[in-house]
């Protein structure tokens, strides 16, 4: 078994990591870290567990550690669910100390030798680990994109060979995307907030790197532009998006592409049977009905119509965060990078 730790284990994404790693066939959860506020407490006492599945018994007894490199000595991989501004330093220290880092945090995502990976879209970018090793790092850092970008780019995988110059996307993002302490109830209930700081820029930037080509030394960005417009809505989990593609192909051709798409990777424990569920009902996908498909790892695409427009929805803390990182780690093990 590979010994793993979770940095920021008490937060919205950290809790998902704990839940998904509790009974994992490759990974044994050995270290949980958080802030000084939580350090020294048993996990069950430190965490305000908010998931619908119970806190795994064995994990509840782990004592939460301070987020310091000294507390991570016997770990092979750390999953990072820290706020971005805190993640950079400790993630770099881990990689230098020979630990593999699979990070949800934004700090390292756009660095030229750090892969930003969504396995169904750009698994080959994992070869960038070799650039890090050539530069003398014993471990590695692999990042996954922000939660909306993951759901969005998986939906683009079947149509990526059609030519487009501009993609537009309007998001309706769940409150769990803002973190555990995220957004006060008085601000979000009975409301829509048409601003999520930094989110539009992240979607616009990260998509081009993920869908770009890695030529062995760098990623050449995808040759189109993305315009995003982000909104926070009173949904607990599940980010929904409306997407417009400026392509010449007919609806029938795009539908065929969604229906016939074959996932380029296979046989990993967290990979769902279907990464994309193409839906034809006129009022789907919906977060409450569709977010837990494929144990939260399947995205749902629907409402495909002329000009080409469609809707997509995926679970933000599973598919868009913890599950995505764990899938990356499984692929890393499978490809022998550990
Ligand atoms: P969160 O709920 O606010 O959790 C933050 C975690 O970091 C908690 O465990 C917290 O520990 C810990 N922490 C805070 N200050 C710390 C410090 N000074 N030293 C060490 N640990 C500290 O945030 P989140 O939503 O889980 O997001 C975590 C990361 O994932 C962020 O970078 C976010 O952008 C990214 N992300 C989030 C989502 C999502 O859907 N929520 C999706 C994709 C990516 P305490 O409990 O002890 O304070």
From first to last of its 338 residues, what are the pLDDT tens digits of the chain? 999 999 999 999 999 999 999 999 999 999 999 999 999 999 999 999 988 889 998 899 999 999 999 999 899 999 999 999 999 999 999 999 999 999 999 999 999 999 999 999 999 999 999 999 999 999 999 999 999 999 999 999 999 999 889 999 999 999 999 988 889 999 999 999 999 999 999 999 999 999 999 999 999 999 999 999 999 999 999 999 999 999 999 999 999 999 999 999 999 999 999 999 999 999 999 999 999 999 999 999 999 999 999 999 999 999 999 999 999 999 999 999 99
Distance CA 256, CA 143 (A): 31
Q: Where are the domains of the chain?
A: 2-145+321-334, 147-315
Pick one of 3.20.20.70, 3.40.50.970, 3.40.50.80, 3.30.360.10 as the CATH number of 147-315.
Answer: 3.30.360.10
2-145+321-334 classified as CATH 3.50.50.60: no
Residue positions annotated with a catalytic role: 147, 239
Residue among 34, 173, 175 whose CB has most ligand 1 atoms within 8 A, to mutate: 34
Q: Which atom of ligand 1 is nearest to the CA of 13?
A: 26
β-partners of residue 166 are: 225
239 CA closest ligand 1 atom index: 40
Answer whether 67 contacts ligand 1 (Cβ < 6 A).
yes
* Contact indicator for 174, 233 with CB cutoff of 8 Å: yes
Q: What pLDDT is attached to residue 51?
A: 87
Residue 284 · residue 300 · CB < 8 Å: yes
Asked if 2-145+321-334 and 147-315 have one fold, the answer is no
Ligand 1 centroid to Cα of residue 66, in Å, is 14
Of all protein residues, the one whose alpha carbon is nearest to atom 22 of ligand 1 is 35
Q: Ligand 1 centroid to 145 CA: how many Å? A: 15
Judged by DSSP in three states, 158 sits in helix
Residue nearest to atom 29 of ligand 1 (CA): 81
* Ranges of H-type helices in the chain: 12-21, 43-46, 57-60, 84-96, 119-122, 128-134, 147-156, 185-188, 199-210, 251-260, 287-290, 323-334
CA 287 to chain centre: 17
Percentage of the residues of the chain whose pLDDT score is greater than 70: 100
What is the dihedral angle through the alpha carbons of 43, 141, 105, 40, rounded to the nearest 10 degrees?
20
265 Cα to the center of ligand 1, angstroms: 29
Q: How far apart are CA 108 and CA 103, in angstroms?
A: 9
> Closest Cα to residue 149, out of 163, 169, 179?
169
Q: Is the CB of 34 under 6 A from ligand 1?
A: yes
Instruction: Please give the Cα distance from 11 to 17 (Å, whole number).
Output: 10
What pLDDT, on the 0 to 100 scale, is given for residue 181? 83
CA of 256 to the centre of ligand 1 (A): 40
Burial class (CB in 10 A: 0-12, 13-18, 19+), 118: buried
pTM: 0.97
User: Is 261 within 8 Å of 158 (Cβ atoms)?
Assistant: yes
């Amino acid at each position: 078994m590979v010994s793993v730790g979770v940095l920021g284990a008490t937060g919205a994404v950290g809790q998902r990591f704990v839940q998904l790693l509790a009974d994992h066939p490759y990974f044994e959860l050995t270290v949980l870290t958080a802030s000084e506020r939580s350090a020294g407490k048993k996990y069950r006492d430190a965490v305000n567990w908010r998931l619908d599945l119970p806190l795994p018994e064995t994990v509840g007894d782990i004592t939460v550690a301070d987020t310091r490199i000294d507390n991570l000595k016997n770990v092979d991989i750390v999953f990072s669910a820290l706020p971005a501004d805190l993640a950079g330093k400790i993630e770099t220290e881990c990689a230098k100390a020979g630990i593999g880092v699979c990070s949800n945090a934004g700090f390292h995502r756009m660095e030229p030798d750090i892969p930003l990976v969504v396995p169904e879209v750009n698994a080959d970018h994992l070869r960038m680990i070799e650039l890090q090793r050539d530069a003398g790092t014993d471990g590695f850092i692999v990042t996954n994109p922000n939660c909306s970008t993951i759901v969005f780019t998986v939906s683009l995988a079947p149509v990526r060979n059609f030519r487009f110059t501009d993609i537009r996307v309007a998001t309706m993002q769940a409150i769990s995307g803002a973190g555990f302490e995220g957004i006060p109830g008085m601000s979000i209930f009975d409301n829509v907030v048409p601003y999520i700081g930094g989110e539009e820029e992240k979607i616009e930037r990260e998509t081009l790197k993920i869908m770009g080509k890695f030529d062995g030394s760098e990623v050449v960005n995808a040759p189109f532009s993305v315009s995003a417009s982000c909104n926070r809505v009173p949904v607990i989990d599940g980010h929904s998006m409306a997407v417009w593609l400026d392509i010449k192909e007919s609806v029938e051709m795009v539908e065929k592409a969604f229906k016939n798409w074959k996932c380029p990777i296979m046989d990993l424990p967290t990979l769902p049977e279907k990464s994309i569920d193409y839906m034809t009902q006129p009022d789907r996908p919906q977060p409450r009905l569709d977010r837990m498909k494929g144990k939260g790892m399947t995205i749902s695409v629907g409402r495909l119509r002329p000009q080409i427009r469609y809707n997509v929805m995926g679970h933000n803390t599973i598919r868009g965060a913890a599950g995505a990182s764990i899938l990356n780690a499984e692929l890393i093990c499978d490809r022998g990078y550990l």
